[in-house]
Amino acid sequence: MPGPTADLFADDALQQPAGREQIGDESYVLRGYALPWIDRLLPALRGILAQSPFRQMVTPGGFTMSAALSSCGALGWTSAHHGYRYTSLDPRSQQPWPAMPDELRELAVLAAADAGFIDFNPDACLINRYVAGAKMSLHQDKNERRFDAPVVSVSLGLPAIFLFGGHERSDKTQKISLFHGDVVVWGGVDRLRFHGVMPIKEGLHPIMGPQRINLTFRTAG
């Protein structure tokens, strides 16, 4: 979207998924997997952002994150001076996070199954907005109570370079190009691998505008 909650979503031509690439023992990129879902995802995303708009959170170290964030589902991820955690309430409104739309949940469950993880039951969907220059430093997804469920990550909009590392921050990382509609799934022995996003390059996506939006589904509770 041109602005944080503007009408960034135009109609997209229906395209078919382009295949699966293995990037780890239990990690896959599902190329174009979300493309057939775009017409259903974007109205649902508009509704979420109308209720819980994007905001830039502050890390425990006092730094403002370059990616803006919202959430939907029973739990939403938050960052503040006192640390990272999941909450049932949006700290901005003190109201429950928007419910996870069926369209989003179904996409995540099917993508997980196609990557070998059946019975995925996400209760949190983190929504990150990256504009030019925004990035995500290497980190592990470890604020969840359990690690037996995978992470499912959907890319929309501008391309990104996804960094996929090992179990130590110092391990060598793969640089994986992600495009509109790509879905990354990792879990099992790879669940706690470090990962991040390199700074987004300036551009204008025909559907999403000058930004990348990333939907990350997790079982947090």
SS3 state of residue 81: coil
Residue at 79 is within a domain: yes
pLDDT at site 11: 41
Q: Are strands 136-139 and 95-96 parallel, antiparallel or unpaired?
A: unpaired
What is the span of the domain harbouring residue 81? Answer: 28-218
* pTM recorded for the entire structure: 0.91
Mean pLDDT confidence for 95-116: 98
Is the pLDDT score of 1 beyond 50?
Answer: no
Is the pLDDT score of 182 beyond 70?
Answer: yes
Is the pLDDT score of 9 beyond 70?
Answer: no
The number of beta carbons lying within 10 Å of the beta carbon of residue 190 is: 20
Burial bucket for residue 138 (CB in 10 Å: 0-12, 13-18, 19+): middle
Mean pLDDT confidence for 173-194: 98
Mean pLDDT confidence for 4-32: 69
pLDDT at site 60: 79
Determine the Cα–Cα distance for residues 117 and 112; give it in Å rounded to an integer. 5
pLDDT at site 14: 36
Determine the Cα–Cα distance for residues 103 and 35; give it in Å rounded to an integer. 13
Mean pLDDT confidence for 170-184: 97
Determine the Cα–Cα distance for residues 62 and 36; give it in Å rounded to an integer. 40
Amino acid at 205: H
Residue at 159 is within a domain: yes
Residue at 5 is within a domain: no
Q: Model confidence over 32-85: pLDDT tens digits?
A: 999 999 999 999 999 999 999 999 988 777 888 999 999 999 999 998 777 788
Task: Count the domains in the chain.
Answer: 1
pLDDT at site 198: 98
pLDDT at site 18: 64
Residue at 155 is within a domain: yes
- Confidence category of residue 8, pLDDT binned at 50, 70, 90: very low
- Whether residue 34 contacts residue 41, with contact meaning beta carbons closer than 8 Å, is answered with yes
pLDDT at site 208: 97
Residue at 58 is within a domain: yes
Tokens 């996870």 -> residue: 100
Residue at 123 is within a domain: yes
Determine the Cα–Cα distance for residues 93 and 54; give it in Å rounded to an integer. 12
Is the pLDDT score of 3 beyond 90?
Answer: no
Residue at 113 is within a domain: yes
Q: Model confidence over 123-150: pLDDT tens digits?
A: 999 999 999 999 999 999 999 998 999 9
CATH number for 93? 2.60.120.590
Residue at 21 is within a domain: no
